Chain A
Amino acid sequence: MARGRENRRNNDKNKGDGWDGWGGYMKAKQQKLQEQYVKDGISSNIFKGVSIYVNGYTKPSSDELRRLIIQHGGVYQHYLYKTQVTHIIATSIASSKTKELKHMKIIKPEWITDSVAEGKILSYIPYQLYTSQTRIQTGMGGFAADTKTISTTLLKSPNQREYQPQDTNINIDKSPKTTVNQYRNFEDGTDNKEEIDSEHTDDDSILGQYFDDDDDESLVPVAIQKNSEQCLAIETEETLICTIEQDGSTNHKKLSNRLGSLNKNKSVSFSADLTDNSFNSSGHKGEADNIKPNVSSSLKPSVSPNKMAKAGDANFLSEFYGNSRLHHLSTWGAEYKAYVNKLQTENTDHFPGREKLRQFHVECVERTEELDNLQSVKGKPERIIMHVDMDCYFVSVGLLERPDLRGKPVAVTHSRNKGRTAPTQGSDPDYEMKYYRSKRADLGGTNTTSDTVKDEDNDVPPDLRKFDKFQSFAEIASCSYEARKAGVKNGMFMGPAKQLCPELNTIPYNFQKYQQISKQLYDTVASYTHDIEAVSCDEMLVDCTDLLADTGATPLEFATVLRQEIYNKTGCCASAGLASNILLAKFATRKAKPNGQFYLQNYDVIEFIKSQAARDIPGVGWSINRKLSNLNVTTCGDLQNISLATLQKEFGPKTGQSLYKSCRGQDERPIKMEKERKSVSAEINYGIRFQKEHECVKFICDLSEEVHNRLVKVKLKGKVITLKVKVRKGDAPKEAAKFMGHGICNNVSKSITVPLATDDATCISKECISMLHAMKINIQDLRGMGIQMQRLEMEAGTTHNKNTKGNQSILNFTVAKTNTETIKQHSVESTVIDKPQSGSNQLKNNINARKDTKVTKVKSPSSIDINTYKDFHVDDEERNERNISSQPIVSKHRVTLMSGYTLVDELARRKTAKGFLPPLPTLPSFNTPDDKSPVSTTTSIKHDSPMDYFLSPSQVDPDVLSELPSDIREQIEKEMNSRKTKCDTDIIIHNSQEAGCSHWPGSMTSDLSIITSRSPEDDSPIVALPSPSQIDLDCLNALPRELQEELQFAYKQQPNHQTVVTHLQSPTKHCSPGKTRKTSPLFKVPKGRPGKKRKLSPKKLLFSYEKSKSLNKPEINKIREYDDDVISIEDDIIPTLEPDKHNDIDTVDDSVSLCGAVTISQVRSLLKEWLYTCQEPQEEDVDVITAYISQLILDQNLEQVDLVLKFMYRNILKLDNNLWKRSLYNIVNNTQSLIQSVHGSRLNVDYMNTCKINIKNQDYQTIVHMT
């Protein structure tokens, strides 16, 4: 401010003295200021090109910094010109300023002093006050360039001596004090450094060490860094004070401080205190007392409560995914698979790389021509798979930016410290250790003691040998070969790794860079061939058979060229293994590593494979290896000695088989160009600590959003939503040993099937929340949560022909039938089919065949595929009709609401997806007077008029209608208007298209035998309205007035239909002459709508097909198909108990029923009615009974069969009508033959023998074998 005022004053004053041009004064002033110090003499050029601006209070002061920078060739800017200033120096910075200076490098002043002391410009990265980059460290890209300048401008200036002793002094001062530190003994590298300290040897080496360690420290997980500028500032102070030896322990404190400061508001004051403290101590550097408090406080593990970005926090999810290595790996894996697919589909035959390879090959041949011509036998057909794998990928990419670490042991991990942290508060590592030990013991079988010792090396995951409370639980994602030599392995925890290799350097993740390099890698390989199977971001399988045949190069030549090119392009080394199959190629790569290539010739295979370790076989993991070592197997050779039977017994049939083959080097898997996705999920098991319900809900919503995004990305929708939850194990400690880890948990999962495949985030989250509630879990015990979508379907609008049977979309089945004739043909075809599987294939074909015609012919929006829904509710509906205003209505409502929701959703989506208006789906209605649900009213239709599945005017809720998108609304309104006027034409359309049953081509085709046998009614559409005679006046009167009117109107409108309707009545109707007969309301509905019973959801249809397949009894398959015909009317015993909320298709009760009658008493009264009203039995009716009994038999309900037969027998005996008797014999005969085929024996019908039934017809007598 003061300066600003001065400027103004100066400006005014100096008007007219030559500087009054635009900015003239400022320019002159700057120049003067810059030159001011130059005259002191430039001692070195290390800061050449660096232009700093000092912000606020710093230590050393800005004056001092200015002196240093200018002395060493840099530029000191007094004003913050973003274009000129390269680095901003600050010890702390206001948060508002951090935003302003987001894209600037803000560096701690130590960078200057240390660089000067070092005599070269150091990487500024460890000194960054905070990382300007958001989550992925983009800024590191710039570092590579910087390092180059370092190496060139490296000058040993005399001045640096001034600074070095100072730093070493600190070291010397501190070293005695560190003996106070009780953890000193654990401290890695302590001895080493103490030696150096005491010897006062080469300063450089100490400093080097110092900086290295400092580097490690500053590589805080970025998520934390971002929010903790203040604390990092403290850290800088502390690092100055504390010697290397103390780092480990102070880290505890620093880390917790930093974590504490995540909650910014609180942390400000807190860190301010600390700053004071550290300032104090830095002021009295040499004094032991001042260090002590630091050390001791650091021993108290939790100065502040650990509060990292918890699940439920606003940006937890993005933060988590930004930093999750596994997340990136999996998404990249998928991405590259997609990338390769894209390349393949683009299918350019232009492979620029091949030319190069040809050239190289020619050169090679020229060189080695005289030696052997054999190698270049052109076009040999042998299959060659190359496995390309980058060498310690994360590390080598990381080293691109840190060339100074080359040749040193390096590990990539989130952990920034040296492998020790304070134990998380409330955690009990001992408990977890015990748990893992006991788990190991369990797995190990009986001989635990000897065994654990033996396999310890193999058990990487929780490395228990070195399990101690203060170790870091950060996992090492990748480590360099130098580190591997020391015994460090990928996946190890940082703590034990540091013990194995004290001088292990850590570098952070750089996900963007990985991705960039991976892209280059894939592009490189793709320039040769597209026969690539992407395995992960750094690994792929290449089928080079074609390529080599084309170019004539040898496998090794190709590998050489490719690896060279990869190295040139990416700067990272790749290894390549070549062999005749995938398995061997992978083995060969192992041999080739690091940075090599290996071609496993076929004649070498047998010897080669014998020497391979069995645990290296892909698919052999921890537990298989354990079992193998129990069998004394270590190499594949050992494994070869074990018989297939033993292996299968030990590992299960599949794994055994694959092991048996693998250890012989056999592997028939082709390179998979395209893999079908089975599920899409998002899961987070880190950092979940909910306190409040709403946090959890919020989290689920976020997670659902994530799943939604992923689904959208792959253009899929899922039908089954699974919620996986990790719950803290009852006796486990509250906190896990790994910071914010999940600790020991019980895994609980629950899934639900939604009627329509969805990718809608709100829908998913809603289901998940309700599932979570159903689990009844204490929110605070949640430690992990995942949402998975299964049974994926392509998004509507895209064809998905590759669908597997299980994946089949209901929508596929719900196509309008166009021609009765074709259907009939199809049905006939199907009857011939014996195998259920081919039956369903046929079915699929039929549907596909019909699809095309459908598009052109169906015009009426009423013939839509909503029957899917309808069928779900058939039960409810029919039950409802029976007792029209009774209890089950409530449950039904909810069901409708649910499916209605997804439906509307689906509607909107399809609309947007396809760009045109889809046919309007509707829902079955429930014309109960109390039906007020807006969704069901809009989307539902009247059950009385299933003929056209369109809402009746009375059912349209104007409010809801107005809420609909305008185009949909218009469609509805238009349709409604046209309906009013064009009733007659409508009817004609429906007759031709048979809207009702046309939605059920699936069930129609499967109906085969029934269709053919019960022809009259099956050919006709499903009944629209029951015949007027069947209307129960009581029921009608109970309806609201407008509904009544509507019904009456409908009846008036439908004279044309009456003929059809009579056709459709239940068997009994054929013989009941008088329509006035009053029947009990109970049976009216089923009889009035016999067509209904043939409707089955395709789902169920498939299911029963599968069922019959599993039974493997071809001889009864035909009969089983009756089973498909099961009438789905709910058993009256259970209806009210039927769960409503989680109603999925599977829960549809498939009780066998006779025209709706399920229980024996219902069946009895139905039969009674039939027997006593008909003079003589109709053949169709007998067939219905036979079918019903067949279903009962197949439904394993012989008891009811027995009862039905007995009942019929008793009554027919009373009737004493020979026609009836004959029918009974017919029925009994059919029943017996079916029972014979199913159970191998016949039903005991001895009771029928006791009375003589006179059979006139000799034919029957011969057929019927009754004892």
Chain B
Amino acid sequence: MDAINKYQVSADILSEFVEVAIHSILYNRGLYPQGVFQRRKKYNVPVQMCLHPDVTSYICNIIESIKVLLEEGEIEKIVVVILTCHHKPIERFVFEIGTSSVGRNTSDQYLFEMEGSLRSFLLKLTVCDAMLQSLPEDCTWSVHIHTQESAAGKIEEKNVVQNFPWVEADERQTLLEDPKIVPLKTMKSDYFKLQLFVEESSKKKP
């Protein structure tokens, strides 16, 4: 197991999880009508997955490029930003990824615990609307990643092939108005630390 690259493993796990989580956020925050979602099972819990081909391919593209960076250990945060129709950010679902200082040798060799933790993330996501104010109509969303400086070059390099360019985030899209944090879940594993919290603008309704 030591031969396995720690980043590689965490990249695999995280990219898989983030994909599911994005779908889950989209569903739970009601960004798309419920009809386009289908119930699937992941981590042994029911999750909703968007079936719209454009949405899925967009998410896939995101995940693919995120994965490249995750493998390099470049990503600090992955943020799903929910914007109003005027492109004003009102909610940010922040997946903060940290490297774990815990040693690699573990008994969680088959990642059972990992699965359990991820499952609890998803469950927490499904109930997050209880902790958050409801969204206005016609919201849209985007994904931001917070990386280390060095990642910029890597994105550029890899994206040429993928034809899915990342652009530097507009400050207007990153800054929330009077944000408040609602922590959702935190986990620690041998491979990474992950915490999910929502930054919510206190002025959601215009």
CA A71 to CA B204, docked complex, whole Å: 117
CA A1163 to CA B60, docked complex, whole Å: 41
> Which single member of B2, B102, B186 contacts A1149 (CB below 8 Å)?
B102
CA A731 to CA B98, docked complex, whole Å: 39
- Please determine whether A1243 and B181 come into contact, CB atoms closer than 8 angstroms: yes
Binary flags per residue of B1-13, CB closer than 8 Å to A gives 1, else 0: 0110000000000
Chain B residues, CB < 8 A from A1144: 103
- Please determine whether A1147 and B102 come into contact, CB atoms closer than 8 angstroms: yes
- Please determine whether A1198 and B105 come into contact, CB atoms closer than 8 angstroms: no
The residue of chain A having its C-beta at the shortest distance from the C-beta of B77 within the complex is A1239
Chain B residues, CB < 8 A from A1200: 186
- Please determine whether A1150 and B101 come into contact, CB atoms closer than 8 angstroms: yes
- Please determine whether A1240 and B179 come into contact, CB atoms closer than 8 angstroms: yes
Give how many A residues have a beta carbon under 8 Å from the other chain's beta carbons.
36
Chain B residues, CB < 8 A from A1196: 96, 98, 186, 193, 195
The residue of chain A having its C-beta at the shortest distance from the C-beta of B105 within the complex is A1139
> Which single member of B2, B107, B179, B193 contacts A750 (CB below 8 Å)?
B2
Counting CB contacts under 8 A, is B185 at the interface?
Answer: yes
Binary flags per residue of B172-188, CB closer than 8 Å to A gives 1, else 0: 00011001111111101
> Which single member of A1103, A1151, A1197, A1246 contacts B180 (CB below 8 Å)?
A1246
Counting CB contacts under 8 A, is A1267 at the interface?
Answer: yes
- Please determine whether B181 and A1244 come into contact, CB atoms closer than 8 angstroms: yes
Counting CB contacts under 8 A, is A1263 at the interface?
Answer: no
CA A1137 to CA B112, docked complex, whole Å: 13
Interface hub of B175, B181, B186, B193 (most chain A Cβ within 10 A) = B181
Rounded to whole Å, the gap between the CB of A261 and the closest CB of chain B is 41
Chain A residues, CB < 8 A from B184: 1199
Rounded to whole Å, the gap between the CB of B193 and the closest CB of chain A is 5
- Please determine whether A1197 and B2 come into contact, CB atoms closer than 8 angstroms: no
Rounded to whole Å, the gap between the CB of A890 and the closest CB of chain B is 14
Chain A residues, CB < 8 A from B188: 1151, 1197
Chain B residues, CB < 8 A from A714: none
- Please determine whether B105 and A1142 come into contact, CB atoms closer than 8 angstroms: yes
CA A962 to CA B102, docked complex, whole Å: 40
Rounded to whole Å, the gap between the CB of A879 and the closest CB of chain B is 16
Rounded to whole Å, the gap between the CB of B129 and the closest CB of chain A is 14
* Given A1103-B101, A1139-B106, A1244-B181, residue A750 in contact with residue B3 (CB < 8 A): yes
* Given A1239-B199, A1240-B179, A1242-B180, residue A1139 in contact with residue B103 (CB < 8 A): yes
* Cross-chain pair count, CB within 8 angstroms: 80
- The residues in A between 1112 and 1150 inclusive whose CB is less than 8 angstroms from any CB of B are 1137, 1139, 1142-1144, 1146-1150
Counting CB contacts under 8 A, is A1202 at the interface?
Answer: yes
The residue of chain A having its C-beta at the shortest distance from the C-beta of B132 within the complex is A1244
Chain B residues, CB < 8 A from A653: 153
Chain A residues, CB < 8 A from B181: 1198, 1235, 1239, 1241-1244
- Please determine whether B179 and A1146 come into contact, CB atoms closer than 8 angstroms: no
CA A1197 to CA B185, docked complex, whole Å: 8
> Which single member of B105, B175, B200 contacts A1244 (CB below 8 Å)?
B200
Counting CB contacts under 8 A, is A748 at the interface?
Answer: yes
Counting CB contacts under 8 A, is B108 at the interface?
Answer: yes
- Please determine whether B179 and A1243 come into contact, CB atoms closer than 8 angstroms: no
CA A838 to CA B187, docked complex, whole Å: 33
Rounded to whole Å, the gap between the CB of A1162 and the closest CB of chain B is 16
Chain B residues, CB < 8 A from A1199: 183-186, 195, 197
Counting CB contacts under 8 A, is B157 at the interface?
Answer: yes
Rounded to whole Å, the gap between the CB of B3 and the closest CB of chain A is 6
* Given A748-B3, A1137-B108, A1197-B195, residue A1244 in contact with residue B182 (CB < 8 A): yes
Rounded to whole Å, the gap between the CB of A461 and the closest CB of chain B is 25
Which of under 10, 10 to 19, 20 to 34, or 35 or more describes the interface residues of B?
20 to 34
CA A1137 to CA B113, docked complex, whole Å: 12
CA A572 to CA B197, docked complex, whole Å: 73
The residue of chain B having its C-beta at the shortest distance from the C-beta of A648 within the complex is B153
> Which single member of A1147, A1151, A1267 contacts B105 (CB below 8 Å)?
A1147
Counting CB contacts under 8 A, is A408 at the interface?
Answer: no
* Given A1139-B103, A1147-B103, A1241-B176, residue A1198 in contact with residue B183 (CB < 8 A): yes
Binary flags per residue of B82-124, CB closer than 8 Å to A gives 1, else 0: 0000000000001010100111111110000000000000000
CA A564 to CA B124, docked complex, whole Å: 82
Counting CB contacts under 8 A, is A694 at the interface?
Answer: no
CA A1092 to CA B94, docked complex, whole Å: 35
- The residues in A between 1190 and 1218 inclusive whose CB is less than 8 angstroms from any CB of B are 1195-1202
Counting CB contacts under 8 A, is A649 at the interface?
Answer: yes
Chain B residues, CB < 8 A from A1195: 193
- Please determine whether A1146 and B103 come into contact, CB atoms closer than 8 angstroms: yes
Chain B residues, CB < 8 A from A1201: 183
- The residues in A between 210 and 257 inclusive whose CB is less than 8 angstroms from any CB of B are none
The residue of chain B having its C-beta at the shortest distance from the C-beta of A1235 within the complex is B181
Chain B residues, CB < 8 A from A1151: 188
Counting CB contacts under 8 A, is B142 at the interface?
Answer: no
Rounded to whole Å, the gap between the CB of B104 and the closest CB of chain A is 8
- Please determine whether A1139 and B107 come into contact, CB atoms closer than 8 angstroms: yes
Chain A residues, CB < 8 A from B200: 1244
CA A1201 to CA B182, docked complex, whole Å: 11
Binary flags per residue of B72-84, CB closer than 8 Å to A gives 1, else 0: 0000000000000
Binary flags per residue of B141-181, CB closer than 8 Å to A gives 1, else 0: 00000000000010001000000000000000001100111
CA A1147 to CA B193, docked complex, whole Å: 15
Chain A residues, CB < 8 A from B197: 1198-1199
Counting CB contacts under 8 A, is B57 at the interface?
Answer: no
Rounded to whole Å, the gap between the CB of A1111 and the closest CB of chain B is 9
Rounded to whole Å, the gap between the CB of B203 and the closest CB of chain A is 12
The residue of chain A having its C-beta at the shortest distance from the C-beta of B98 within the complex is A1196
The residue of chain B having its C-beta at the shortest distance from the C-beta of A1144 within the complex is B103
CA A296 to CA B142, docked complex, whole Å: 77
CA A1267 to CA B178, docked complex, whole Å: 9
Interface hub of A748, A1198, A1200 (most chain B Cβ within 10 A) = A1198
Counting CB contacts under 8 A, is B202 at the interface?
Answer: yes
CA A306 to CA B182, docked complex, whole Å: 71
CA A1110 to CA B131, docked complex, whole Å: 34
Chain B residues, CB < 8 A from A1149: 102
Chain B residues, CB < 8 A from A1242: 179-181
Interface hub of B3, B186, B200 (most chain A Cβ within 10 A) = B186
* Given A750-B2, A1196-B96, residue A1243 in contact with residue B105 (CB < 8 A): no
Chain A residues, CB < 8 A from B182: 1202, 1244
Chain A residues, CB < 8 A from B94: 1239
- Please determine whether A1137 and B107 come into contact, CB atoms closer than 8 angstroms: yes
Chain B residues, CB < 8 A from A1146: 101, 103
Chain B residues, CB < 8 A from A1246: 180
Rounded to whole Å, the gap between the CB of B99 and the closest CB of chain A is 9
Chain A residues, CB < 8 A from B102: 1147, 1149-1150
Rounded to whole Å, the gap between the CB of A236 and the closest CB of chain B is 51
CA A1242 to CA B201, docked complex, whole Å: 11
CA A1137 to CA B193, docked complex, whole Å: 18
Rounded to whole Å, the gap between the CB of B192 and the closest CB of chain A is 10
> Which single member of B104, B157, B202 contacts A649 (CB below 8 Å)?
B157
Binary flags per residue of A759-800, CB closer than 8 Å to B gives 1, else 0: 000000000000000110000000000000000000000000
The residue of chain B having its C-beta at the shortest distance from the C-beta of A747 within the complex is B3
Chain A residues, CB < 8 A from B96: 1196
Interface hub of A1144, A1148, A1197, A1235 (most chain B Cβ within 10 A) = A1197
* Given A1103-B101, A1137-B108, A1196-B193, residue A1243 in contact with residue B199 (CB < 8 A): no
Other contacts beyond A1139-B107, A1150-B101: 7, CB < 8 A: A649-B157, A749-B3, A775-B3, A1144-B103, A1151-B188, A1199-B185, A1242-B179
A/B interface sample: 13 pairs, CB < 8 A: A748-B3, A1139-B103, A1147-B102, A1150-B102, A1196-B98, A1199-B183, A1199-B186, A1202-B182, A1239-B181, A1240-B175, A1241-B179, A1244-B200, A1267-B180
10 closest pairs, A vs B, by CB?
A1147-B103, A1241-B179, A1198-B183, A1244-B180, A1137-B107, A1199-B186, A1139-B105, A1199-B183, A1202-B183, A1197-B186
